[in-house]
Amino acid sequence: MQCSADCLLRLIVTPIETEDVGNDQLLRACFIESRTLTKSEWLFGLAMMIFLFSFLIIAKKTSFRSLGRLHQVMQPLPVSSIIVDITGDVKKTGKMNVSQGSTIRSVIRKARLKSTADLTNIDLDRVLDASCDLHIPAFEKIVVEVCGCVKEKVSIELPAGSRICDMKGCVVLSENADPSFFRRRKILRNNEIIRVPALDEKKSSKH
């Protein structure tokens, strides 16, 4: 830049009579010298380029690390498993491996209850935080309600595990009742409502 200033100074002090030739050559020289960088300027520009390139690389690595940490934070925590030893009136007894925080309802759903299982005193929404023993008791007696083609709607108390055929002597049927209904061997559940069909319903179902 000092060279360019010297050129301009020489241009100012140049006599007017040499303006057509000398000034034109001097302006070209100043333009060329102004475009020429010194060694220190080249080194400074190179250093700036290296600095910017290094800054971009560091910023990129930092962003990748931040994304990796964010991904780890967003991943769900591993769920621990517990062992529930289930016994009683279920079809699948024994030790069952379930997730910590499961409810008793979900456990007995997997164990598959029998029709005589008594859940009266069991909190189905209780959360299991640790391994435990779970016993499902059975009803000793059940109560069913019989309606439909009967003389009178009644509630009958029967031993747990009783079937429809076991109610035959406990119900007074009406004249149009279908007596073959009591040949069924379906196991009754506690508080179940049993409707005795009429003979007309049996004939219509065949057609």
Is 174:150 a contact under the CB 8 Å cutoff? yes
Rounded Cα distance, 102 and 87, in Å: 17
**What pLDDT shows up at residue 135?**
95
Q: Supply the pLDDT for residue 17.
A: 46
pLDDT for position 183? 92
Distance CA 149, CA 73 (A): 66
**116-136 mean pLDDT:** 92
Whole-model pTM: value is 0.50
Residue 115 to residues 104, 136, 156, 161, 163: CA-CA distances in angstroms?
Answer: 17, 12, 17, 8, 11
Percent of residues, the chain, with pLDDT higher than 90: 45
All structural domains of the chain with their residue ranges: 2-74, 81-136, 141-206
pLDDT tens digits, 73-98: 555 545 689 999 999 999 999 999 99
pLDDT digits (tens, 9 = 90+) for 35-86: 556 777 778 878 888 888 787 888 777 776 766 665 565 555 456 899 999 9
Q: Shortest CA distance to 103 belongs to which of 120, 124, 89, 83?
A: 124
- Judged against a pLDDT cut of 90, whether residue 197 lies above it is answered with yes
Q: What percent of the chain has pLDDT over 70?
A: 72
Is residue 158 predicted with pLDDT exceeding 90?
A: yes
- At 126, is the pLDDT very low, low, confident or very high (cuts 50, 70, 90)? very high
Cα separation of 98 and 52, whole Å?
A: 56
Question: Which pLDDT band holds residue 9 (cuts at 50, 70, 90)?
Answer: very low
Closest CA to 102 of 123, 129, 78: 129
Supply the pLDDT for residue 48: 84
Place of tokens 């390139």: 53
- For residues 149-165, give the mean pLDDT: 92
Given a cut of 50, is residue 24 above it in pLDDT? yes
What dotted CATH number matches 141-206?
Answer: 3.10.20
